[in-house]
Amino acid sequence: MASQRQLEGKTVFITGANKGIGAAIALEFAREGANLFLMDLQADNLPAMIEEARSLGVKAGHRQGDVTLPAEVEQAVDAAEKDLGGIDVLVNCAGIFQSTPFLDYSLENWTRVLEVNVTGTFLCSQAVLRRMTGRGRGKIINLSSIAGRMGSKFRAAYSTSKHAVIGLTRCIAIEFAEQGITANAICPGMVDTDMFAQVVRQDAEIRGIDPETMKAQFQSRSLKPRLIPPVEIARLALYLASPASDGMTGQALTYSDGIVMQ
Ligand SMILES: NC(=O)c1ccc[n+]([C@@H]2O[C@H](COP(=O)([O-])OP(=O)(O)OC[C@H]3O[C@@H](n4cnc5c(N)ncnc54)[C@H](O)[C@@H]3O)[C@@H](O)[C@H]2O)c1
């Protein structure tokens, strides 16, 4: 007899799902039976992902939208609930990276990183929690980073934003525990996505070295000679979305091939 899929019939709303970790989470969740609503500023891959999800026997919809704009967030969350039913799981994966020497930050760059990574997570969480409250269950999963667990050169805005995501996760965990809602953060290390390629490019440029040397320097910090495949982060997200993690809330789980050990 086929075993029950872990998210069968659950409605999951994922931001930043057009590529990278968000896309891997979407497909992993669809394989486990979740109905998906995908939101991203760049929507070019979303129709193909919707098709793939439907071929796995789940319902799926999408919206192009910016997580920093309250009206766009509200419309997408509303559409998800109308099309797929009450949201059971929110994954806040939309994020941007910026590597800049501290004294060179423009206010505009600083603000945009905080807006997308922190305010976007806040707005999506608020829109979903308004509807989740009263249903007696729900899971919020936020993408932080190992940058949220330590400081690093040239990462003032990004690292600050990812520390803030952990704080926000814990506040949600405490405020909504009585409603049966959990909130946890994932702190990945170096994951094989376009964002990591951007990290390498930007740091190499600031340091005046070639990107391959920069990448080798990053990899020397890891206990494994590789970049983490996005599907491994998706499997951790699956655990946090499933009933197996019902007793876990307010946690920041590091997945970094040993770069950070806390
Ligand atoms: N790749 C890594 O090594 C790594 C490590 C730690 C944490 N993370 C975090 O994981 C998350 C996903 O990263 P990734 O590597 O998949 O990045 P990515 O750049 O491959 O994908 C990010 C997605 O977010 C979307 N996005 C950006 N701004 C948005 C906005 N305002 N509104 C809606 N969507 C928006 C982008 O269009 C893109 O599709 C991010 O929060 C990132 O900070 C990544």
Number of compact structural domains in the chain: 1
Instruction: Give nearest CA residue, ligand 1 atom 36.
Output: 16
Distance in angstroms (rounded) separating the CA atoms of residues 77 and 75: 6
CA of 116 to the centre of ligand 1 (A): 10
Let me know: does 91 contact 237? Beta carbons within 8 Å.
Answer: yes
Asked whether residue 201 is domain-assigned, the answer is no
Judge residue 55's burial from the number of C-beta atoms within 10 Å of its C-beta, 0-12 exposed, 13-18 middle, 19 or more buried. Answer: exposed
Asked whether residue 101 is domain-assigned, the answer is yes
CA of 166 to the centre of ligand 1 (A): 16
The set of protein residues with a Cβ atom below 6 angstroms from ligand 1 is: 15-16, 18-22, 40-42, 66-68, 93-96, 116, 120, 143, 145, 188, 190-191, 193-196
The pTM for the full model equals 0.98
* Closest atom of ligand 1 to CA, residue 94: 24
**Catalytic-residue membership of 158:** yes
Per-residue pLDDT of the chain (262 residues; tens, 9 = 90+): 557 899 999 999 999 999 999 999 999 999 999 999 999 999 999 999 999 999 999 999 999 999 999 999 999 999 999 999 999 999 999 999 999 999 999 999 999 999 999 999 999 999 999 999 989 999 999 999 999 999 999 999 999 999 999 999 999 999 999 999 999 999 999 999 999 999 999 999 999 999 999 999 999 999 999 999 999 999 999 999 999 999 999 999 999 999 999 8
Asked whether residue 88 is domain-assigned, the answer is yes
Asked whether residue 223 is domain-assigned, the answer is no
Asked whether residue 89 is domain-assigned, the answer is yes
Asked whether residue 28 is domain-assigned, the answer is yes
| Predicted pLDDT of residue 2 | 56
Distance in angstroms (rounded) separating the CA atoms of residues 239 and 248: 10
| Predicted pLDDT of residue 262 | 82
Asked whether residue 80 is domain-assigned, the answer is yes
Distance in angstroms (rounded) separating the CA atoms of residues 116 and 136: 29
The parent domain of residue 30 ranges over 11-190+228-249
Strand ranges in 27-72 using DSSP code E only, listed in sequence order: 35-40, 60-64
The identity of residue 42, as a single letter, is Q
Distance in angstroms (rounded) separating the CA atoms of residues 124 and 74: 8
Asked whether residue 254 is domain-assigned, the answer is no
| Predicted pLDDT of residue 114 | 98
* Closest atom of ligand 1 to CA, residue 19: 39
CATH number at residue 124: 3.40.50.720
Distance in angstroms (rounded) separating the CA atoms of residues 20 and 14: 12
pLDDT tens-digit map of 134-170: 899 999 999 999 999 999 999 999 999 999 999 999 9
